[in-house]
A and B are shown apart, each in its own frame.
Chain A
Amino acid sequence: MTSLPTATGDKRLGLVIDLDTCVGCHACATNCKEWNTSGHSAPLTDVNAYQAEQRGVWFNRVFTYEVGGQGPAARTVHFPKNCLHCERPDCVTVCPTGASYKRAEDGVVLIDHDKCIGCKLCSWACPYGAREYDEDVGVMKKCTLCIDKIYNTNLPEADRVPACVATCPAKARHFGDFADPGSNVSQLVRERGGYDLMPETGYRPTSKYLPPRAGAAAAGAPKKLEPVPDLAGAGKFLRWVDRVLSR
């Protein structure tokens, strides 16, 4: 059913991506590929994997932007991007087959690969470029928020987070429930001013981005270190210690 769920469920699962701490290591993209090439979306096909014109399906792609011009205020921002599991996902409603759907219970946007005819219209409807075509299988694939991991009771509870979140060495990715105002992600969004990408398109993404903190330039010039004070004012004992240690 490609109509959107009329009632929102108890949960709205999504990610918070912290652009302040992301170091652009691509570990999220790599671990995502590793997890998702087996399980729900398997395989994430690579074509020409070991030769020129390599191409394949990735759910996570890490861009790097230069922000603030060329002067001293310039900064480099690494920018991981994947499906934002929107509240108004046109990628779902344009699907003619019922393969694309948004789950009522937790808001996760998924594809039923057995129903998909590979018409690619959903990829046209996504403003973020989050859906990719698997030319080998002939169907569309997308980030599942690791649906086969976050509810997997065979895993220890601490591991029931998306692969990208689990692997991030900079703790730049957070997973949680946006419907719960007390959740880690809701708190982060409140405290750090989490925002939507391209709000003007009206897709209302669930996942949010945290802006980079004010850079070094905004904090002012670094404090100059004071030279080590000389022994003027030190007592007799400390002068003796100094003499002993200086030998």
Chain B
Amino acid sequence: MHPAYSVILFTTASGAGYGLLALLAVFGAAGILPAHTWFGFVGIGLGVALVAAGLLSSTFHLGRPERAIRAFTQWRSSWLAREGVAAVATFAPVAVFGVGWVFLNDMSGPFAWAGAATAVMAFVTVSCTAMIYASLKTIRQWNNALTLPAYLALGLATGALLLVLVAALFGVYRPAFATLALALLVIGLVIKIAYWRQIDAEPPRSTLGTATGLDRFGEVRLLEMPHTEENFIMREMGYAVARKHARRLRLVAASALFGVPSVLLAFALWSGLGFVIAASALATLSAAIGVAVERWLFFAEATHTSMIYYGRAA
């Protein structure tokens, strides 16, 4: 599948934003984080900015972005519509607990409930994003049980890294935050390794034989393309990354997204606040590169059944 940069930015930025908002909301409601004005402003502001940037960039690949409002209507059947509705609905509890935190310095009572609602809605929204891909029967690399957990784990892990950084900058850091981020990174790595093993091991679900129904006569081979130039289907679905590059890029993604941040966080656990700030900033930067590569691979390694007709494996 063609890896559109707008969609890579959308899924990674909004994932990290929702992860950060969910963690802030839960820890704020539980009284683990203090309801300080500027900490809340920067933390919640960063989460909202990432989500908003992601949602905005997702409209860049539309042919008719001026009609994007229509995409909220078909939530009964479409995961994309559900994602849109959930994303917008999440802003309501975020606004309530944001006002409580930033302006009233109060995270009790209704503001705590709004925090809980924020966490639930963030979970729902990221799940909808993942299901857009996981529900497509045409792409076996997405249509499996690990796509949804991977989106949730990576959203939470990158959000937790941001939480460590922002909390450290405002002096409300606790080593437990770094431990949490470390644990989420390990969970994310385990899920991604399991995912990569699964898509490598799974045989194609369809072949040129079943796609044409001609397997009854023996082997089927493409003799002539229907046209001389690349068409939309081939450009959109036919993107292929060389196998050796895929292996290297997986290593890059695993190192930058999980390896480097994990080592930095592990050191941060036994260091002073100054090192925590530097380490979490570096870890966030590394993870940002890593998650972009991971998401690029998620698209580039996905094969589409329609390409079988063009003589490719899917």
Contact = CB atoms under 8 A, between A and B. Distances in A.
Interface of A: 1-4, 19, 26, 29, 53-58, 61-69, 73, 75-77, 79, 81, 90, 92-99, 115-121, 123-129, 132-135, 137-140, 195-202, 209, 211-212
Contacts of A97: 67, 70-71, 73-74, 81
Contacts of B76: 2-3
Given A68-B219, A115-B67, A115-B70, 13 more contacts: A2-B78, A63-B310, A65-B212, A66-B223, A79-B212, A97-B81, A117-B67, A120-B61, A124-B237, A128-B305, A135-B232, A137-B63, A201-B305
B62 A117 contact: yes
The 6 closest A-B pairs by CB, nearest first: A118-B63, A138-B63, A129-B306, A61-B226, A96-B81, A64-B224
Interface stretch (B129-137, B169-177, B242-250): B129-137
Instruction: Name the residue in B78, B81, B304 with the highest tally of chain A Cβ atoms < 10 Å from its Cβ.
Output: B78
A126 B309 CA distance: 13
Contact of B306 (A95, A127, A134): A127
- Size category of the B interface is 35 or more
A92 B219 CA distance: 33
Contacts of A200: 205-206, 210
Contacts of A55: 229-232, 235
A209 B73 CA distance: 36
Given A67-B220, A119-B62, A98 B206 contact: no
Contacts of A132: 231-233
Contacts of B135: 90, 94
B303 to A, nearest CB: 12
B211 A198 contact: yes
9 contacts: A2-B77, A19-B214, A68-B219, A94-B78, A96-B81, A117-B70, A127-B306, A195-B213, A201-B137
A196 B78 CA distance: 26
